[in-house]
Amino acid sequence: MEINKLLENEWVDKSIKVLITIIISLIIYSIVSSIIKKYSKRDKLEKLAGKKTTTYIRLARSITRYLFILLTFLIILEILEINITSIIAGVGLFGAVFGLALQDFIKDIIRGTTILSDDYFKVGDVVKYKDIEGKVLILGLKTTKIKDLKTGNTISIANRNIDEIEVVSKYVYVNIPMPYEVNVDKAEEVINKIVNDIKENNKVEECTYKSVNELSESSILYLLEITTNPINKRQVKRDALKIILTEFEQNNIEVPYNQLDIHQK
């Protein structure tokens, strides 16, 4: 009897409806999210449609989350018989402050859609943000998440900061410092061996000798251009430097360094 009276209470009835709405919304969201997640695995999807489609699908997951939150909120307001228009009109100053607080959020969403429409970068690309180079893991409506290639840490970047993000190229430039005592013909003979050795690295797509780059104080700098996946740039450069040192040792060439000559009278 008491339970019946309790259920007949208007606020109890509304509370139950709100609870049911939230539960149903979470169940539907979980199902939709699972379907999107299943088809957004990069190793399978990229083979069919490429990185850009992968990015759109992962963004769809983010949009779905915000959409479900918004729809659930609106349904709850309807159940509670709350007039949204009257609330906005009645809050006055609070509404203005709330609007200002949303500015950054709106900027992030606008920038997020701009990243996709103008093709700034995609999921899987390597980008640079301040002193951090990382691989784009998730491109959401509000933030972009990247994995720092140096530390492995995951970093979230607000999309409004897109102007500070640079897409890392696939080129690695390495200077080979040759002593002035080594003539150009001999230097280029050694460099050709270095180029061939670098090309044997399975992470290297191409390696090209670009000629003399600079006449420095202690050496002549010969420039190499190496093409590789941006993810491998750090390791490829380390491997190239090791090959250079090895060839120098085999040809009895000393690595130049700055020297200070002191003359006494």
Say which CATH topology domain 171-250 has: Alpha-Beta Plaits (3.30.70)
Q: Do the Cβ atoms of 169 and 236 come closer than 8 Å?
A: no
Give the residue range(s) of CATH 3.30.70.100 domains in the chain.
Answer: 171-250
Instruction: State the pLDDT confidence band at 225, using cuts at 50, 70 and 90.
Output: very high
The residues near 146 (Cβ < 8 Å, ≥ 6 apart) are: 127, 129, 132, 134, 135, 136, 137, 154, 155, 157
DSSP string for 50-73? -HHHHHHHHHHHHHHHHHHHHHHH
Q: Is the pLDDT of residue 208 over 60?
A: yes
Residue 1: per-residue pLDDT: 47
In the structure, what pLDDT confidence band is assigned to residue 41 with cuts at 50, 70 and 90? low
Strand partners, 226: 172, 207
Q: Closest by alpha carbon to 247, among 186, 183, 173, 191?
A: 191
Q: Is the pLDDT of residue 262 over 60?
A: no
pLDDT at residue number 122: 81
At residue 171, the pLDDT reads 94
The Cα–Cα gap between 246 and 228 comes to 22
User: Is 23's pLDDT higher than 60?
Assistant: yes
Res. 195 pLDDT band, cuts 50 70 90: very high
How would residue 71 be classed by pLDDT, with cut points 50, 70 and 90? confident
Lowest mean pLDDT among 72-76, 210-214, 242-246: 72-76
Q: What's the pLDDT score for residue 48? A: 45
* φ, ψ dihedrals at 198, nearest 5°: -65, -40
Tokens of 140: 């959401």
Q: List, in sequence order, every residue forming a beta bridge with 174; answer none if it has no partner.
A: 224
